[in-house]
Amino acid sequence: MEALFNLGNLLTMLITALATWGGTFLFYKQEKRSKDIDNEAKQSEEWRKLYLDSQEDSRKKEEDSRKKDEKIDELRKEMSDMRRQMNNLERRVILNSIYRCNRVDCSNREPKPDETQRLSMEEQTIKHFTLEELTDSATAKRLHINNTPSSAEIVALTALCVNVLEPLRKHWGGPILVNSGYRSPALNAAVKGATASQHMKGEAADIRASKASDNMRLYHTLRTLFPYDQIIAEEYDVATGQCGWVHVSFRSTGCRKNALIKYKGKKGYFYWK
């Protein structure tokens, strides 16, 4: 009996020890799990913070990039405005110089102070034609061709206006329409102009009257009353006695006074008789 009693006590003690150890084990296991959860939460929070910081950095970079692009656009616009102002200034200097030399014997004396203060020839003398009108081209716009004349070509266009177009306009007493003035080499090639076309030098313009029935009268007015290098009655229709437009060119020296006709539907040019 005593042995059985001792065995029972031993079993009781063993069970108590196991229960105590098991409880301690479960406690530490739960504690570890709790710490793991806390660590995972902290790590998750750190990752979330890193993500938010990354998003903020990305947003700031995009904002900085946008501001830089805006600044670049502003600088480009300023440069474009400055370039346009410089071109206008250069053109006015050239035009004003020509204006004075047309009115003053520049080889013998300096212009008087009041002469140097005159308005540019573009404003003072050429009242019915503009550089924009003489360089405008639908083909150039459609094909994105640069049709900006150089200083020398502006001088030639000015001479054409001063000596032919403006006097013709005043004598005519009505609108003179410009079909084509200056053509850059690229534009001249695009419209299949002559390889040696005077349009490329700023020496020529294709013009017409406001009424198609007046184009030949315009041609003969030029032929008989004004200086020119070459005039052509383009696309002359024998049936109607009218042409489509008038080509006129002027050179500061050595004008040939060629008066030609290009018959509609025929190749080649014929001298006016």
pLDDT tens readout for residues 174-190: 999 999 999 999 999 99
- My answer on whether 163 and 77 are in the same domain is no
Write out the H or E segment, with its range, that includes residue 25: helix 2-103
- My answer on whether 157 and 201 are in the same domain is yes
- My answer on whether 116 and 134 are in the same domain is no
Domain C-terminal end among 82, 98, 125:
125
Q: How far is CA 236 from the centre of its chain?
A: 37
Torsion, CA 206, CA 210, CA 215, CA 218, rounded to 10: -80
pLDDT of residue 143: 95
Q: Is 209 helix (H, G, I), strand (E, B) or coil?
A: strand
224: which residues sit within 8 A by CB, 6+ positions away?
A: none
Q: What's the domain range around 92? A: 1-125
258-263 sheet: strands from edge to edge:
176-180, 204-209, 245-249, 230-236, 258-263, 270-271
Q: Is 249 helix (H, G, I), strand (E, B) or coil?
A: strand
What average pLDDT does the segment 191-217 reach?
Answer: 94
Which tens digit of pLDDT belongs to each residue from 87-115? 666 665 555 554 444 443 333 333 343 33
pLDDT of residue 120: 46
With bands split at pLDDT 50, 70 and 90, how would you rate the model's confidence at 29?
low
- My answer on whether 93 and 145 are in the same domain is no
pLDDT of residue 86: 66
- My answer on whether 47 and 63 are in the same domain is yes
Q: Across the chain, where does the E strand assignment appear? A: 176-180, 204-209, 230-236, 245-249, 258-263, 270-271
User: What is the total count of domains within the chain?
Assistant: 2
pLDDT of residue 245: 96
pLDDT of residue 151: 87
- My answer on whether 1 and 89 are in the same domain is yes
C-alpha distances (whole Å) from 25 to each of 12, 16, 35, 36 are 20, 14, 15, 16
Least confident of 59-63, 123-127, 222-226: 123-127
Q: Is 68 helix (H, G, I), strand (E, B) or coil?
A: helix
142: pLDDT strictly greater than 90? yes
Q: Is 100 helix (H, G, I), strand (E, B) or coil?
A: helix
What average pLDDT does the segment 164-182 reach?
Answer: 94
221: pLDDT strictly greater than 80? yes
Share above pLDDT 70 across residues of the chain, in percent, rounded to a whole number: 74
- My answer on whether 108 and 226 are in the same domain is no
- CATH number at 179 reads 3.30.1380.10
How many degrees, rounded to 5, is the angle at CA 172 between CA 167 and CA 173? 105
pLDDT of residue 257: 93
pLDDT of residue 57: 79
Which has more pLDDT, 96 or 28?
28
C-alpha distances (whole Å) from 104 to each of 69, 98, 175, 203 are 51, 10, 30, 23
pLDDT of residue 186: 96
Torsion, CA 60, CA 61, CA 62, CA 67, rounded to 10: 90
Domain C-terminal end among 106, 125, 144:
125
Give the integer Cα–Cα distance in Å for 91 and 184: 17
- Please give the structure tokens belonging to residue 163: 């000596």
